[in-house]
Structure 1
């Protein structure tokens, strides 16, 4: 039976974990994809510090749906050894958090150059990441994203087919396909469905001349994002297709409606949540 389990990039509510949990409790959401915690990226926490975060979450009944790491969100030309060590640290953090997944990316391609020129290096690095996670109990999830090698469905599938080990799957982000001028349904959905284990929920409109920003979070997002169902991501069609296919897993709200959670993060997050609930109601799906 299909099941959408709600989660959230709660740092879009507030920088502060306690405030994040306050708002999520109001909305009956009890999972968090951890990215920003008390103003610091999750990858920058020590193991002792993350134990404290985990204890605070447990005390209020929250679980980690995934670690929203910045791994792979670096220039493909940068040396890899230090980044691989950072990944191993993130892997240890995920284990301390009892997180089933780590979100990662397939490296930024230099502006103006052809992605295929870096194919072998990308696939080699992705395989090394998968190898490092082998036996950890944590599954890796490649997210489609602008400017990285796996930006369009064809190259996402290429990565997922090439990497061996059975522990690399896909996070599906409709808005990021919109940014790449890719039609989500049926094109991206049909190509990606066999590999998808996790859904990110944000919507957007295509902006041909959008600035190239290589940020690690959601700053400098511009005015291209919309609440779910209000952009060009074909959110209703995509969610209906996943629901009817028997998808069971996380549906993580990542609105990107505000670049400054300190100003209006809770309000914008509530608005995005309401829009998502409206879409789910329209297609006859439920989330909890």
Structure 2
């Protein structure tokens, strides 16, 4: 039997280590099988993107992740080197991107009174920019979608106005125009019903989808946000009004009445939304797109621990719906 010299042994060992480190990190958790693209928004776990991806893939068993912020920056502000690093981390954990969670149209509508609902806390690290800069935000969002190999960009319906009626037609036209711009580049624009914006509830989402008739605009259905806007029957009552073929993304979180009857965020398995029922309804309509955990509730002490608790509730609801 031949023997290695110390130098030969170290050379072979080093080569083996390099090969091993280049292989994808396999998940210790069983990889989820679902009719949905089960995902989590990365910065709901951690600003450390590698760690967030490790938790999503290794601990949660996910194959999908939604990008919003990392390393103390909003995804919109990543430089070329950070984009390449993020792509390498995604490859390392075999994760695909559901969408770019852009802050597009989280701004005041020009010519309208300044909204009382706009808040820097809602921007998730992105600087609030003016209406005039929104075309640049749109172009950047489309570019990021292409770089991260996803076909979707998320947007909003401008900070909420007490009386949107005088501006509603113009806002609808802007949403349609942005969606057409996306469509020309093979990207789907998904509008999130956001409690601080003009489309906040299921009923308002149905109105907006019916008013803006283009295949390039879809809905990011967020029943938790609807509850936060006091639509306590978001599911199943308001849900029935929404054109189901326009839903191409879904955010999972929950809300409940707290002290003084104030609506507060809650873990996914506690609150007004029956998530097992919502998942069954999505499954019955043949939905195959993203259901993405957007924790928001921070009662677990840290963002990561809160997300782990919410994921446990979300996973239980998926299992109850026979969706994993």
How does the TM-score come out when normalised to structure 2? 0.77
Alignment-derived partner of residue 14 in structure 1? 46
Task: Tell me the equivalent position of 2:298.
Answer: 258
Q: Secondary structure at the match of 1:228?
A: coil
Q: Does 1:74 align with 2:125?
A: no
Are the equivalent residues in 2 in contact too, given 1:146–1:179 (CA < 8 A)? yes
Q: Which residue of 1 aligns with 2:281?
A: 241
Match of residue 49 from structure 1: 82
In structure 1, the partner of 2:142 is: 91
Tell me how far 1:168 sits from its aligned partner.
0.6
1:184 and 1:154 map into 2 onto residues whose CA distance is: 8
Post-superposition offset of 1:45: 2.0
Q: Determine if contact 1:199/1:252 at 8 Å carries over to the other structure.
A: yes
> Are residue 108 (structure 1) and residue 108 (structure 2) matched?
no
Residue 304 of structure 2 corresponds to residue 271 of structure 1: no
Does residue 205 of the first structure (1) align with residue 205 of the second (2)?
A: no
Counterpart-to-counterpart distance in 2, 1:121 and 1:51 = 38
Whose RCO is larger (CA < 8 A, sep 6+)? 1
* CA distances 1:149-198 after superposition (whole Å, capped 9, x unpaired): 11123332232233344111011111101012211222221122232111
Matched, 1:123 2:172: yes
| Residues in 1 aligned to 2:271 and 2:105: alpha-carbon distance in whole angstroms | 27
Q: CA deviation at 1:30?
A: 2.4
For residues 291 and 204 of structure 2, what CA distance do their matches in structure 1 show? 23
3-state SS of 1:70 partner: strand
- 1:31 Cα offset (Å): 1.4
**How many residues are treated as equivalent by the alignment?**
269
1:139 aligned partner: 188
The alignment status of 1:162 with 2:186, answered yes or no, reads no
Give how far 1:206 is off: 4.5
Using the TM superposition, give the Cα deviation of residue 48 of structure 1 relative to its aligned residue in structure 2, in angstroms. Answer: 5.1
Answer with 1 or 2: which has the greater Rg.
Answer: 2
Contact 1:33–1:68 at 8 Å: present in 2 too?
Answer: yes
- Which deviates more, 127-136 or 67-76? 127-136
Structure 1 equivalent of residue 200 of structure 2: 151
Structure 2 residues without counterparts, runs of 5 or longer: 1-33, 112-129
* 2:241 alignment partner, one of 186, 191, 201: 191
CA contact (8 A) 2:35 2:287 kept: yes
* Inter-partner Cα distance in structure 1 for 2:314 and 2:160: 33
Q: Which segment drifts farther, 62-71 or 162-171?
A: 162-171
| 1:73/1:105 contact within 8 Å kept | yes
Cα deviation 1:205-230 (Å, max 9, x = unaligned):
157886xxxxxxxxxxxx81111121
Q: Is 1:33 the equivalent of 2:83?
A: no
Give the Cα–Cα distance (whole angstroms) in 2 for the partners of residues 194 and 22 of structure 1.
33
Q: Deviations over 1:72-106 (max 9, x none)?
A: 11111375331111111111111111012111101
Q: Is the 8 A contact 2:54 2:93 kept in 1?
A: no
Contact 1:130 1:163 in 2 (8 A): no
